[in-house]
Amino acid sequence: MSTSEIVRLGGLKNVGRFKDHLRILGVNIPCDDELASGQQSPLRQPLVKGQLFIGNRIAVQPMEGWDGTADGRPSEYTFRRWQRFGGSGGKLIWGGEAVAVSHEGRANPNQLLLNEDTSVGVERLRSVLVEEHRRVTGSDQGLIIGLQLTHSGRYSRPNSHQRGEPRILYHHPILDRRLKLPADYPVLSDGEIRAIIEDFHRAAALAWKLGFDFVDIKHCHGYLGHEFLSAYTREGEYGGSFENRTRFLREIVEGIRSAAPGLAIGVRLSAFDTVPFQPNPKLSGNGKFGPGVAELSPECIPYRWGFGLNPFDPTQEDLSEPILFLSLLEKLKISLVNLTAGSPYYSPHIQRPALFPPSDGYQPPRDPLIDVARQMKMTRTLKQNFPNLILVGSAYSYLQDFLPHVAQAAVREGWVDAVGLGRMVLTYPELLWDASAGEAIQHKRICRTFSDCTTAPRKGLPSGCYPLDDYYKGSDLAQQLKVLKKS
Ligand SMILES: Cc1cc2nc3c(=O)[nH]c(=O)nc-3n(C[C@H](O)[C@H](O)[C@H](O)COP(=O)(O)O)c2cc1C
Ligand code: SF4
């Protein structure tokens, strides 16, 4: 499918037309005709679970900017982004952005790092956010702020944008080839894994000291935590059985509970995955890449390198292990769970459905609404199975002007507890706050999924909404991106 064949949501005049379009596509996405406002709005209802009081159902997803300093402190760009997170009106700030627990585990040389040297900056990020939240909403009551802790594993790139330094748990038949890893490339030893677990303990204790309400032990998007869950072929204590593949999480949780007893813990999980996709080679050429197709050869079946998928039909999800994983979270008394899918590196169409692909992606293989519906269905299924967990849903930005109608319906009908906003926060952070206050939506600020916020970092520049955010529009960075996109 090419971008030109996909119906532009910005061109649909009203909710009725949008709902007609959903019917024609045959996708099941709940959508309210009218938006409620103030205390009538499902999006403004608080969420109370045990000790946790979250003031409304608007969540801000972690959104990294590739714009920290070389030693891992926030820059002016980072402060501005966190300030806007606070001004979104969302009461659940899920992680802010991926913050590495060690230099070696950074996904890029400008990723934030959490250690004693960077802690003043990270603490200020939190306070800037809180201040702006108070200014916009009048109160910080019910505001819950987490920090997403990460090790980038296979996608570590700590020293140069041009050079990956992968830390892998097992050899993957497709991803190893893509990363040009030789057959004898070393896998992390159990001892090295234990050292990384200690880095998580140290970072969490620091986050607690800095005043964060929770830390997210990131298990998504192909990074280290996520790779553990698919380490079926790894030998030893951290691979093979479900118990072994979740040992990393359990050992991190155990250490955090003793180092930072008052700190809540959350997990962001890619609840299903797929075989890596690539641009269809038959439909690519002349500088253009074709629609995405699965890169799969018969010898890879049964497929043993993905979590939450059917090994005999690995582009299809199988939620039986993700359900076991959520049961484990319940046993570990972790009630904050943020659900996402796939990876930006090898399956961006399922992770963040978009009309326009990033520079290292492919044209959408089908209407992106199908993939929005897929994440929503997965979240709904898990919510039905786990009514006592707090589940945050992802991948709503593609809904554009109709996002508020869908978000309201999804919360009202109990498909999800809180609606997480990713890319939309880069362009129009207050979208759901405005919509649930009965204010007119500013259509010019709606994210149109141009993917420049992904293309920029792929080209070594900070992330940001270059097309729509005045801060970047027309700036030197925007000029640089224009040149790099042509080269
Ligand atoms: C520029 C950019 C940076 C991101 N950074 C992170 C991150 O640090 N941690 C994370 O878990 N997800 C990250 N994501 C994924 C988003 O949190 C979100 O899951 C995804 O964009 C889909 O939601 P959306 O449709 O609202 O954009 C990032 C996405 C983008 C576009
Ligand atoms: S660059 Fe802006 S409009 Fe494009 S996907 Fe990112 S946030 Fe949305």
End-to-end, the C-alpha distance of the chain in Å comes to 25
Q: What is the mean pLDDT of residues 84-113?
A: 98
Ligand 1, pocket-test mutation among 58, 64, 220, 398, most atoms within 8 A of CB: 64
Average pLDDT, the chain: 96
Is 457 a residue whose pLDDT tops 70?
A: yes
Contact between 150 and 219 under an 8 Å Cβ cutoff? The reply is no
Cα 326 to averaged position of ligand 1 atoms, centre (Å) = 21
Contact between 447 and 429 under an 8 Å Cβ cutoff? The reply is no
Cα 150 to averaged position of ligand 1 atoms, centre (Å) = 14
Tell me the pLDDT tens digit for each residue of 461-481: 999 999 999 999 888 999 999
Whether the CB of 463 sits within 6 Å of ligand 1: yes
Which residues, in sequence order, are bridge partners of residue 288? 285
Tell me the pLDDT tens digit for each residue of 318-330: 999 999 999 999 9
What pLDDT does 359 receive?
87
Q: What percent of the chain clears pLDDT 90, i.e. is strictly above it? A: 93
Provide the 10 A C-beta neighbour count for residue 444.
Answer: 8
What pLDDT does 2 receive?
66
Tokens of 481: 């991106």
Tell me the pLDDT tens digit for each residue of 248-281: 999 999 999 999 999 999 999 999 999 999 999 9
Tell me the pLDDT tens digit for each residue of 54-94: 999 999 999 999 999 999 999 999 999 999 999 999 999 99
Whether the CB of 448 sits within 6 Å of ligand 2: yes
Whether the CB of 213 sits within 6 Å of ligand 1: no
Cα 37 to averaged position of ligand 2 atoms, centre (Å) = 27
Whether the CB of 465 sits within 6 Å of ligand 2: yes
- 1 pLDDT band (50/70/90 cuts)? low
Whether the CB of 426 sits within 6 Å of ligand 2: yes
Q: What is the mean pLDDT of residues 368-380?
A: 98
Tokens of 83: 């300030």
Ligand 1, atom 29: closest residue by C-alpha: 63
Ligand 1, atom 2: closest residue by C-alpha: 63
Provide the 10 A C-beta neighbour count for residue 381.
Answer: 16
Q: What is the mean pLDDT of residues 113-127?
A: 98
Which residues, in sequence order, are bridge partners of residue 48? 53
Tell me the pLDDT tens digit for each residue of 148-183: 999 999 999 999 999 999 999 999 999 999 999 999
Ligand 2, atom 5: closest residue by C-alpha: 449
Helical pair 247-259 and 190-209, crossing angle rounded to 10 deg: 40
Whether the CB of 143 sits within 6 Å of ligand 2: no
Whether the CB of 451 sits within 6 Å of ligand 2: yes
Ligand 2, atom 4: closest residue by C-alpha: 450
Whether the CB of 423 sits within 6 Å of ligand 2: yes
What pLDDT does 473 receive?
87
Whether the CB of 434 sits within 6 Å of ligand 2: no
Looking at the CA of 63, name the nearest ligand.
1
Whether the CB of 427 sits within 6 Å of ligand 1: no
Whether the CB of 265 sits within 6 Å of ligand 2: no
Ligand 1, atom 12: closest residue by C-alpha: 62
Cα 467 to averaged position of ligand 2 atoms, centre (Å) = 7
Tell me the pLDDT tens digit for each residue of 188-239: 999 999 999 999 999 999 999 999 999 999 999 999 999 999 999 999 999 9
Ligand 2, pocket-test mutation among 66, 468, 471, 473, most atoms within 8 A of CB: 468
Nearest atom of ligand 2 to the alpha carbon of 466: 1
* Three-state secondary structure of 14-77: CHHHHHHHHHHHCCCCCCCCCCCCHHHCHHHCCEEECCEEECCCEEECCCCCCCCCCCCCCCHH
Which residues, in sequence order, are bridge partners of residue 265? 215
What pLDDT does 487 receive?
77
Ligand 2, atom 6: closest residue by C-alpha: 453
β-pairing, 292-294 vs 309-310, is unpaired
Judge if pTM exceeds 0.85.
Answer: yes
Q: What is the mean pLDDT of residues 98-106?
A: 98
- Number of residues that make up the chain: 487
Nearest atom of ligand 1 to the alpha carbon of 353: 25
Is 99 a residue whose pLDDT tops 80?
A: yes
Ligand 2, pocket-test mutation among 61, 403, 465, most atoms within 8 A of CB: 465
Tell me the pLDDT tens digit for each residue of 411-435: 999 999 999 999 999 999 999 999 9
- Please name the residue that has the structure tokens 């995405």: 292
- 3 pLDDT band (50/70/90 cuts)? confident
Tell me 354's DSSP state.
-
